[in-house]
Amino acid sequence: MTDTANSGPQPGRHLDIPKVTKDLIVTALIATAIFGSTIAFRTVSAAGGLRLEVRYDVAFYVIAAVVVGRLLLWLFFWSKPAGTSAVEMPTSIKSGVAKISAKVGKGFAPTMLIFALVFPFLPFTDRYLLDLSILILTYVMLGWGLNIVVGLAGLLDLGYVAFYAIGAYSYALLAQYFGFSFWMCLPLAGILAAFWGIILGFPVLRLRGDYLAIVTLAFGEIIRIVLLNWYQFTGGPDGLSGIPRPSFFGLEFTRREGGFADFFGLDYSSIHRIVFMYFLILALALLTNFVTNRLRRLPIGRAWEALREDEIACRSLGLNTTSVKLTAFAIGGMFAGFAGSFFATRQGFISPESFTFIESALILAIVVLGGMGSQVGVVIASIAMIGGFEIFREAEQFRMLIFGLAMVVIMIWRPRGLISTRIPSIFLKEKKAVSADMVAQGEGH
Amino acid sequence: MTHHVDDPVLTVEHLNMRFGGLLAVDDLSFDVGRSDITALIGPNGAGKTTVFNCITGFYKPTEGRITALHEGGAKFLLERMDDFKIPKVAKVARTFQNIRLFGGMTVLENLMVGQHNPLMLASNYTFGGIFGLSGYKKAEKVAVELAKYWMEQTGLTARADDAAGDLPYGEQRKLEIARAMCTKPKLLCLDEPAAGLNPRESDELNKLLLFIRKERDTGVLLIEHDMNVVMGISDHIIVLDYGKKIADGTPEEIRNDASVIAAYLGVADDEVEEVEHEIEEGASS
């Protein structure tokens, strides 16, 4: 009896032949449209110019592979009997990841911090890795800054790079015209960027959603174009060079006597300054994180989150939403200003080229990918985005393709970002994470 | 006719609200007593929520004057104030017909946002709070105590650390009232607080409102369709129809008012007497 029960096709596991055939034909057509043009034809440089090489066979194999792959999916995954989940694999992975991340979650942030502190002294750390981590930390800081505006206050800001530019140019210009040092300019750059945050804030107070996004996008472009065209003052497209380097409590990183290496009796090495820069940006980023975490527990931080949840309810409770929005823009802008002046001093040269829209988009992508409002998420996303960008440097022109594909996959897998739960700012008995389904996304999403 | 109120917390005089060609509120005047529960009732589209939005500053009235009066004699002209200043300065708080909670924040956090203004002051507009000055810590403790007090009164203590969006509907209604009470209002305006509540929850709401009036010395103005709530707890009822006040008095007076019955049952004006007669007959038999 048991034999007969097990033999033959399982009940309900059957293929809907016409449906599958239709699907495969559509697949073949789409694959032909994509690969027919990109793979079947290739230009080769030959004597006297370009020659078109036709590779129908290669294109055919690729298309066939796609169709066979789709057929295999139909045979082994999509033909499950009704009632069982069609996407069983991903859900099991999902719950597994949730379990692991819950375990890892607690220790993750301290581990990362310790790793970040000892990183420059590890044996495998070289100049390249240090430079890369400085870059990653800059984006971590920018991500944390933008997180205040987008993640907490829920105001979609597509022109965040403007504040980064303001910070960078503030330092460069103050140093050039008045000879101010880095340490003097750092707070000034922050204050100026915060001030511009308020200037941006005023016109967008009444705007919601898409309109808010468009105006902030325009603001970013206006700042860049002013920098580009105000030749006498900003140097226009030539940029500003010879930006002074920061000193370590008055000690310059030079070979000369009285420099850092000389003072501590070390042999001069250019890596000293890089390590110093690393710790400088690490300290600035941690300051951003510390201040943001602190602000979240203060009435202002709760007001930001309340604004993201429901603006009308805020006003009905006596919150002045105007000042709530302006403080979010100002404080978010301030941290970008700090990061900007660090960028200027690290590069020694800045030009409007560095502050294009793609930078804003990258920072926003980090915040969204990390999970809006999540501090740890921003770190993971920055490492993935900036580090991933470097890993795939070999892939040359396919880099953006891989990158885009990865983003799409992650957004399908975790639509609310990698870390999508919200930790309450205050609790009575037990700190319970709030699931992303409850948390509003604010304006412009 | 106007019901006489000895000590009003809110007076509305000749309020007009026009939207294009529509006169939503037409020369409306009424008083709300300091320790009364006042109900604003009327058929759908009578302009009740518009009146609420005028009082709480979400609409600027076309004409008229709305005054909030505090015990000390302080007067606030609400029609001239920014909407956020009405709860902050004039101490008139409100809830919404479609509940507006901060769904992603916990119950406790919702109640803390309700106390934003005193906390902001205590944190020296963030500058004191960020350096952890003791003044803010004390103020936060006091705020948590007030939040706890209201959670106890509304039966939400057990859910203090749950997201507001996770609560069942009836508890969300209560939380919204608790949050409004955290602003320490002199007048609490409730827009259909019993909508969607089951009879048990609606009884609990009655008790809560009576408690607020008695213990917290707060006037309550509510819009309500649930006659169990309206007739059960109101001291004073105002009836609107097509933006006009058609009756104003105690529940007993309203229950027997012919024009109210006509407005609710849809009787033509010339038949009102007939209906009145029928009611009298019904009452005597």
CATH code for the domain of B200: 3.40.50.300
Nearest to A313 among B102, B160, B162 (CB): B102
User: Are B193 and B170 contacting, i.e. CB atoms less than 8 angstroms apart?
Assistant: no
| Chosen domain end from B117, B149, B183 | B183
pLDDT at A385: 86
A205 touches chain B (CB under 8 A): no
For residue B97, tell me if it sits in a domain.
no
Residues B280 and B247 reside in one and the same domain: yes
Identify the residue with better confidence: A131 or A103.
A131
- Look at residue B159 and tell me if it is in a domain: yes
Are B201 and B170 in contact, with CB atoms under 8 Å apart? yes
pLDDT value for B150: 92
Span of A147-156, A249-258, A279-288, B252-261 with lowest mean pLDDT: A249-258
Which residues, at least 6 apart from A152, have a Cβ–Cβ distance to it below 8 Å? A292, A296, A301, A304, A305, A308, A328, A373
Helix boundaries (H) for A80-230: 88-118, 127-146, 161-178, 182-204, 209-229
**pLDDT confidence of residue A14:** 65
Reported confidence tier of residue A1, pLDDT bands at 50, 70, 90: very low
pLDDT tens sequence across B168-185: 998 999 999 999 999 989
* Confidence class for position A103, pLDDT limits 50, 70, 90: low
Nearest to A299 among B86, B93, B120 (CB): B120
Q: Are strands B219-223 and B187-191 parallel, antiparallel or unpaired?
A: parallel
Task: Kindly report the nearest CA distance between residue A422 and chain B, in angstroms.
Answer: 8
Residue B120 tokens, joined: 């902001």
Question: Are B232 and B172 within one domain?
Answer: no
DSSP labels, A232-297: HHH-GGG-EE-PPPP-BTTB--SSSTTSHHHHTTPPP-THHHHHHHHHHHHHHHHHHHHHHHHHHT
- In the structure encoding, which two tokens stand for residue A160, read together? 């965040």
Bridge-partner residues for B38, per DSSP? Answer: B221, B236
Helix (H) or strand (E) holding B19: strand B8-19
Quote the DSSP letter at residue A398: G
Cβ pair A318:B85 closer than 8 A: yes
Q: Is residue A94 pLDDT above 70, yes or no?
A: no
What is the structure's pLDDT at B279? 61
Q: How far apart are CA A188 and CA B270, in angstroms?
A: 78
Residue corresponding to tokens 């099991």: A92
Helix B272-284 to helix B258-265 angle (10° resolution) is 110
Q: In sequence order, what DSSP letters do the residues of B130-193 get, joined into one string? A: HTT-HHHHHHHHHHHHHHHHHHHHHT-GGGTTSBGGGS-HHHHHHHHHHHHHTT--SEEEEEST
Lowest mean pLDDT among A102-111, A126-135, A425-434: A102-111
Distances from the Cα of A310 to the Cαs of A303, A328, B51, B88, B105, in angstroms? 10, 16, 22, 18, 11
Contact of A422 with chain B, judged by CB distance below 8 Å, is answered with: yes
pLDDT value, residue A174: 92
Do the Cβ atoms of B136 and B123 come closer than 8 Å? yes
Q: How far apart are CA A108 and CA A106, in angstroms?
A: 6
Contacts of A262 (CB under 8 A, 6+ apart): A256, A268
Residue tagged 């993971």 (tokens)? A380
Q: Are residues B26 and B64 in the same domain?
A: yes
Taking the alpha carbons of A224, A229, A231, A235 in that order, is the dihedral positive or negative?
positive
Does B116 sit within 8 Å of A299, measured CB to CB? yes
Which residues of B are less than 8 Å from A432 in CB distance? 106, 161-162
Do A428 and B160 count as a contact with CB atoms less than 8 A apart?
yes
Question: Which residues on chain A are in Cβ contact (under 8 Å) with B114?
Answer: 317
Q: What is the pLDDT of residue B218?
A: 87
**Burial label, B159 (beta-carbon count in 10 A; 0-12, 13-18, 19+):** buried
Q: Which H helix or E strand runs over B119?
A: helix B116-122
B151 and B84 both lie in a single domain:
no
pLDDT at residue number A330: 94
CATH 1.10.3470 positions along chain A are 126-413
**Residue B222 has what DSSP assignment?**
E
Q: Is B40 among the domain residues? A: yes
User: What pLDDT was estimated at residue A7?
Assistant: 44
Q: Which domain holds residue B164?
A: 102-183
Q: How confident is the model at residue A234 (pLDDT cuts 50, 70, 90)?
A: confident
Q: What is the mean pLDDT of each run of 10 residues along chain B (285 residues)?
A: 76 90 88 89 87 90 90 87 87 91 91 89 72 78 91 90 90 92 91 88 89 83 85 88 87 83 69 64 56
Residue in B7, B25, B38, B59 with CA at minimum distance from that of residue B245: B25
The pLDDT tens digits for A34-77 are 888 778 888 888 777 888 888 888 888 889 999 999 888 888 77
In this structure, are residues B229 and B37 in contact, taking their beta carbons and an 8 Å threshold? no
Structure tokens of B99? 């509940």
Nearest CA in chain A to B89: A318
**CA dist list (Å): A354 to A212, A278, A344, A351, B105:** 24, 20, 10, 6, 38
Say whether residue B195 is in contact with chain A using an 8 A CB cutoff: no
Query: Percent of chain A beyond pLDDT 70?
Result: 89
Whether B166 and B277 share a structural domain = no
Question: How many domains does the structure of chain B reveal?
Answer: 2
Helix (H) or strand (E) holding B239: strand B236-241
Q: Which residues of B touch A321 (CB under 8 A)?
A: 84
The reply to whether CATH 3.40.50 applies to domain A126-413 is no
Check whether A396 has a pLDDT greater than 80: no
Query: Which letter does DSSP use for residue A26 in this model?
Result: H
Instruction: Give residue A86's pLDDT.
Output: 45
What does the alpha-carbon distance between residue A109 and residue A90 come to, in Å, rounded to a whole number? 27
Same domain (yes/no): B160, B217: no
- The pLDDT score that the predictor gives to residue A93 is 61
- Gap between the Cα atoms of A69 and A31, Å rounded: 12
User: Measured between CB atoms, which of B96, B105, B129 is closest to A306?
Assistant: B105
Give percent above pLDDT 90 in chain A: 30
Is the domain of B146 the same as that of B270?
A: no
DSSP one-letter code for A173: H
CA distance A113 to A285: 11
* Over residues A329-348, mean pLDDT: 93
Task: Clarify whether residues B3 and B132 are in a common domain.
Answer: no
Same domain assignment for residues B238 and B147:
no
Highest mean pLDDT, choosing among A156-165, A237-246, B42-51: A156-165
Kindly provide the residue ranges of all beta strands, DSSP E only, lying in A330-429, ordered along the sequence.
349-350
Q: Which residues of A are less than 8 Å from B123 in CB distance?
A: 298-300
Of A176-180, A204-208, A249-253, B51-55, where does mean pLDDT reach its minimum?
A249-253
The residue from B150, B167, B183 where one domain ends is B183
Same domain, B168 and B33: no
Distance from CA of B187 to the nearest CA of A (A): 13
Q: Which residue in the set B108, B114, B163 is minimally distant from A317, CB to CB?
A: B114
**Final residue of a domain: which of B149, B183, B217?**
B183
Give the helix, strand, coil percentages of chain A, each rounded to 5: 70, 5, 25
Residue B96 lies in a domain: no
Closest CA to B96 of A299, A309, A317, A308: A317
Q: Which residues from A are below 8 Å from B105, CB to CB?
A: 302, 305-306, 309, 424, 434
Residue A396: CB atoms within 10 A of its CB come to 8
pLDDT tens column, A404-414: 887 788 778 87
Alpha carbon distance A172, A169 (integer Å) = 5
Rounded CA gap, B212 and B206, in Å?
10
Mean pLDDT along residues A400-425? 80
How confident is the model at residue A88, as a pLDDT? 47
d(C-alpha B252, C-alpha A252), whole Å: 88
Query: Token pair of A281, please?
Result: 């940006």
Same domain, B169 and B36: no
Rounded CA gap, A191 and A315, in Å?
Answer: 28
Per-chain mean pLDDT for chain A: 83
* Pairwise CA distance, residues B102 & B182, whole Å: 15
